[in-house]
Amino acid sequence: MTNVALIGYGYWGPNLARNLHELPNCRLQVCCDLDEGRLALAQTRFPHIRVTTRFDDVLQDGDIQAVVIATPARTHFALTKAALRAGKHVLVEKPLAMSSQEALELIDVAREAQRVLMVGHTFEYNPAVLKIKELLKDNQLGDIYYAYSTRVNLGRVQRDLNALWSIAPHDISILLFLLEEMPVEVSARGASHLDRSIEDVVFVDFLFPGGVTAHVHVSWLDPSKVRRMTIVGSKKMVVYDDLETEGKVKVYDKGVLKVGDGQIFGEFQYRLHTGDIYIPKIDMSEPLRNECAHFLECIEKQKQPQTDGASGLRVIKVLEAAQESLRRRGAPVEIS
């Protein structure tokens, strides 16, 4: 049984609280937020827990072994660092921090403190993403050509973070998880329609070492909610629509076949192939519950989390490069 404190009961905190509360090997003991109104709400839902506005009290509470941080992104670094130094295991929402410098420091602090540092890249605990990973492992798609993702909605206009930093970490973590390599080059374009200084629409292109490309579209200024990723392989193609209830993952037996040997005029002919579509059954477990359970398991068994500090760092390195390209209006930026 791990005693946990939840830091931040804003937009995402209630989801974490619900899952932490229901996990059998977890005791949600404290909820901390600067906003008294939010604390009152937490108290109503969970009459048996303590609520506080003082983060330091949580750090000094010897009963608390782990903290889960769901505060604004710009506070992640300081809160995580303090918690690790106070000997707490930490699960922090994405992005891990606001720079790779900060991320590196957190990795060091966690190692020294011998505590679990885990980032909330939720989609790596999503059964649909895990099913796609399985398809890739089995080489069912053939060579991967490219992937693209759209994650848009009307909602949650951020004031301190652009759409790249607030939404794209999801897509980037999925891409790195599935492709198992870092992109070598990134190009990004964005626009700030509501607020001069904060991009509310961002498009990012990725080039991976082996020639795979990817594209991500994120925005909080869209009429419809879309969360869809397409992966195009030489043998099969996958569409992952997170909002579908009946067919989250569709595997298309579709492709383009090269015909001929290319010796005449160096040219190939192409033939389209269209076959069956297959919708694998996806485990219905809630990704966030799986994520929380994984955090607890890593604490109990002293394991390295799937989405550890290094994972958080990788995502931030990509975000930094994309941010630099954004500044240069799409010019390609290399990632070392």
Which positions touch a second copy (CB under 8 A)? 21-22, 44-45, 47-48, 145-146, 148, 154-155, 157, 159, 185, 187, 189, 191, 193-195, 201, 203, 205, 207, 211, 213, 215, 217, 221-225, 230, 232, 237-239, 243, 245-247, 250, 252-256, 258, 267-268, 270, 272, 274-281, 325, 328-332
**What's the sign of the alpha-carbon dihedral 202, 207, 208, 210?**
positive
CB of 7 to a second copy, least distance (A): 22
Task: Tell me the Cα Rg of the chain.
Answer: 21
Nearer to a second copy, 57 or 222 (CB): 222
Tokens of residue 49, six digits: 């827990």
Nearer to a second copy, 224 or 263 (CB): 224
Residue partners of 235: CB distance under 8 A and separation at least 6: 140, 141, 142, 143, 255
Nearer to a second copy, 85 or 250 (CB): 250
| CB-count exposure of residue 230 (10 Å: 0-12, 13-18, 19+) | middle
CB of 298 to a second copy, least distance (A): 23
CB of 5 to a second copy, least distance (A): 17
Nearer to a second copy, 57 or 253 (CB): 253
Residue partners of 26: CB distance under 8 A and separation at least 6: 1, 2, 4, 20, 292, 296
Return d(Cα 53, Cα 309) in angstroms, integer. 27
Nearer to a second copy, 78 or 331 (CB): 331
CB of 9 to a second copy, least distance (A): 15
DSSP 84-136: HHTT-EEEEESSS-SSHHHHHHHHHHHHHHT--EEEE-GGGG-HHHHHHHHHH
CB of 60 to a second copy, least distance (A): 25
Return d(Cα 62, Cα 27) in angstroms, integer. 14
Nearer to a second copy, 85 or 289 (CB): 289
CB of 35 to a second copy, least distance (A): 16
Return d(Cα 77, Cα 93) in angstroms, integer. 11
Residue partners of 297: CB distance under 8 A and separation at least 6: 303
CB of 84 to a second copy, least distance (A): 30
Q: Which residues pair with 67 in a beta bridge?
A: 5, 90
Nearer to a second copy, 274 or 336 (CB): 274
Nearer to a second copy, 248 or 314 (CB): 248
Neighbours of 105 (CB within 10 A): 16
Return d(Cα 9, Cα 91) in angstroms, integer. 15
Whether the bond into 287 is cis, omega within 30 of 0 = no
CB of 87 to a second copy, least distance (A): 27
